[in-house]
Structure 1
Amino acid sequence: MKAPLFWFSAPHKPAWQARLLAPLGWLYAQATARRLKKRGTAAACPVICIGNINAGGTGKTPMVIAVVERLKARGLKCICVSRGYGGQMKGPIQVAADHQACDVGDEPLLIAAFTETIVAQDRAAGVRMAEDMGADVIIMDDGFQNPSVVKDISVVVVDAWKGFGNARVIPAGPLREPVEAGLKRADMVLSIGPDRAQDRFAKLWSDRIAIPHIRGRLEPLPTGMPWAGLPCLAFAGIGHPEKFFETLRNMGANVLRGEALKDHQPLTEVLMKRLEIEAQMLNAQLVTTEKDAVRLPDSFRRKVLTVPVRLQIDDWSVFDAAFEEAEQQKSKSTKPS
């Protein structure tokens, strides 16, 4: 479902639809608060949750990959645990090379290229499996509102341009829980976007953020592909497809058309054949994101170009300090008395 426009009206001046639906949003928030009172399972190693308080995509997967690469550079064994949204396997199961997106979801398939990844609808069971596999650190992809596992570090990821929308809870707004309630349980906020978006985010939300705020931006990896002037038909089934189209334009590509798909939408043979025919009529190259590419039918993998992007964090010091403290706390708790 596409997010309604009134979700992103000004926080200080919500649209009439948001005011009308506010009582339902209050009920949703109360249900979330009650669920979060449950006690979770604590792991022997640090557990880092990369989550959000917005419904939909905010850039969690790039942050998971960035954290994995940073911690693996320290020589740590990182294992990611994901619910596997869009996949049919309940798990817990380790993502393997022969799995497809319909089995384990597209995000776990992408993350598995960087580190061992477990799909588990029961996140606590997934964490126990990661411990059995010898994890030094467990990284949870999403699950900030899931109380079944105790988190040692929680990072709330937010799109810098859209922020927290109108600051209302579903269905009155885009939030799973109120801003203040969510950030109270978090250790830091990561806003992702270019400088202009970051400035807008700070102007609207800085007075509501009482925890460390770090900034990041998505940058395409240089692949040697000459994008300048290349006619493209771009398609994306991510949280904010328009951001991908803008990235292509910034790289110099001539985006003749952008097909915005639903988040995690299956790339069926019928859909891809339609896009292929349209691209041929436009004399354009089909282009998509890394996350979408793992859902491509085998017959189209060589026909579609992929744009890999990586998250660049302005300053890792807040995260590094939080992780070192979490390591120390775990070390103390596991020492024999």
Structure 2
Amino acid sequence: MQPESPMPDRTATGQVADAVKGNWVDRLAPPATRPYLRLSRADRPIGTWLLLLPCWWGLALAMLWDQSPRWGDLWIFVACGLGAWLMRGAGCTWNDITDRDIDGSVERTRSRPIPSGQVSIKQAVAYMGAQALVAFAILLTFNSAAIVLGFLSLLPVAVYPFAKRFTWWPQVFLGLAFNWGALLAWTAHTGSLHWAPVILYVAGICWTLFYDTIYAHQDAEDDALIGVKSTARLFGEASPRWLRLFLVLTLALMAVAVIVAVTPQGSGLALLLALAGLCAMGLHMAWQLRQFDPDDNALLLRLFRANRDTGLIPLIFFLVAVLA
């Protein structure tokens, strides 16, 4: 399949092939900053959303658990947004540093800043460090338990780029990194961990397996040629059955997390609202499954990006339940 627009027209000005057309980086950012913003995926905001939404889920469930929303939660909400943007950028920079040779061999990724020569390795390392330092400063505003969790999150982030070299399940490692915020945000509110965010974390990993398997099908042919592993290659024609399994596991585990979080002190109405959000989330995931076509790259990218809405749906219901 052809990318969303012909690659030569976009890469001529440094644009990345799978970026959103007409994004703010390509239109508004000063030219000198564009390669770095593209390196941190600022032109492709879906990844920030997918990292951020589990944070907000964890915060909302924490408020439902102790029935004690407070003004400090507004800072946690905002800090998670800033931290997700920065750490997604730092993580993507690290990913592109480690994958620079692989990216140059894949049609969809060869226009990224490092393989296309827009940014050197030294410049990328310096930029990664700057993003991580600012994120660290934000992390220091949380309680000590959340700070420790923030440090521990670096382990799955560091390992993920190498996972596709040694396992058919690199999406699991992505899920470990991308859903860590569910644990961190809960702890930032409550001061300690609980079974509810742990179950929510596992549910988020299943959700990541769902959306990133869809995403990985775009590169299945190139990955096979260069020996890169993924669940898309592992599942092949059986992908719809596996996606259905991940859908069911995501909803079932999130339902358990909601019940564990809400039942101690929450009202019956709050529980019903939160569970209703999961039903709506399930309908959205089922719609993606019905649309799924592993041979249509443009559709696969649209479905992947649609998971921003998938994650926003339960969040809205959770926040309404907090007020119930």
**What TM-score does the superposition give when structure 2 sets the normalisation length?**
0.29
Q: Which has the higher helix share?
A: 2
State the TM-score, normalized to the length of structure 1.
0.28
Bigger Rg over Cα: 1
Q: Which has the higher strand share?
A: 1
